[in-house]
Chain A
């Protein structure tokens, strides 16, 4: 059974860097693309960025200058860094697996990140 386990700091001050990690269990990391998505309170879903097993990454143009998506410390992990956070970055952040149909079939449980002074 494929599982994504995610973790990271949940409370940040403005201007700090958001850092989240997602670990993949039960699936080959190299067979898929991996994604970060966020959901602001009471709002819809927003694509943050992707990383391919080759290391190629892409990100939402609206966040691109602040986003880094990279492999984690272990070979089955990937991470998100979002620098210079503001209150508008307050959201639940999800990691997910992307299929060949570009749908997301496995999701992490989500990490609530609050940015507040």
Chain B
């Protein structure tokens, strides 16, 4: 069973700063099936990135995904106020524990 570990647990940043979120798999996984989601309080998750690096429809280009093998990254180039949320990575039916991006 593959385990996805996200780090850090919480990221405290200011608007305009760059956010780098990590997702590590317990064994090498297929990049095609690695996705990232954003979830705000009281809402369903929203797909941001699929296939490790492809942005979903309507997602701003400040969001970018990269990585392969066991290590994957979601980068938000310049944080907007609406980007403060919890982010999850996912592979098949497994989810990471999430990273909370909070306002510093």
- Could you tell me which A residues sit within 8 Å of B by CB distance? 44-47, 50, 60, 94, 96, 99, 101-105, 107-110
B-chain residues with CB within 8 Å of residue A45 when the two chains form the complex: 45, 88, 90, 95
> Is B35's CB under 8 angstroms from A101's CB?
yes
The count of residues in chain B whose C-beta lies closer than 8 Å to any C-beta of chain A is 23
Q: A47-B95, A104-B35 are in contact. List 16 more A-B contacts (CB 8 A).
A: A44-B95, A44-B98, A47-B93, A101-B32, A101-B33, A102-B33, A102-B91, A103-B33, A104-B37, A104-B47, A104-B90, A105-B47, A105-B56, A107-B45, A108-B44, A110-B44
> Is B44's CB under 8 angstroms from A101's CB?
no
Could you mark each residue 69-95 of chain B with 1 if its beta carbon is under 8 Å from any beta carbon of chain A, else 0? 000000000000000000010111111
B-chain residues with CB within 8 Å of residue A46 when the two chains form the complex: 95
A-B contact count (CB 8 A): 52
Jot down 17 A-B pairs with beta carbons below 8 A, ordered by A.
Answer: A44-B88, A44-B97, A45-B45, A47-B94, A50-B93, A60-B93, A99-B50, A101-B35, A101-B51, A102-B92, A103-B33, A104-B35, A105-B50, A105-B57, A107-B44, A107-B46, A109-B43
> Is B92's CB under 8 angstroms from A109's CB?
no
- Could you tell me which B residues sit within 8 Å of A by CB distance? 32-33, 35, 37, 43-47, 50-51, 56-57, 88, 90-98
A-chain residues with CB within 8 Å of residue B94 when the two chains form the complex: 47
A-chain residues with CB within 8 Å of residue B50 when the two chains form the complex: 99, 101, 103, 105
Nearest CB on B from A74, distance (A): 22
Pick from A50, A103, A109, A110: contact of B90, CB below 8 A.
A103
The CA of A103 and the CA of B98, in the complex, are separated in Å by 16
The CA of A52 and the CA of B35, in the complex, are separated in Å by 20
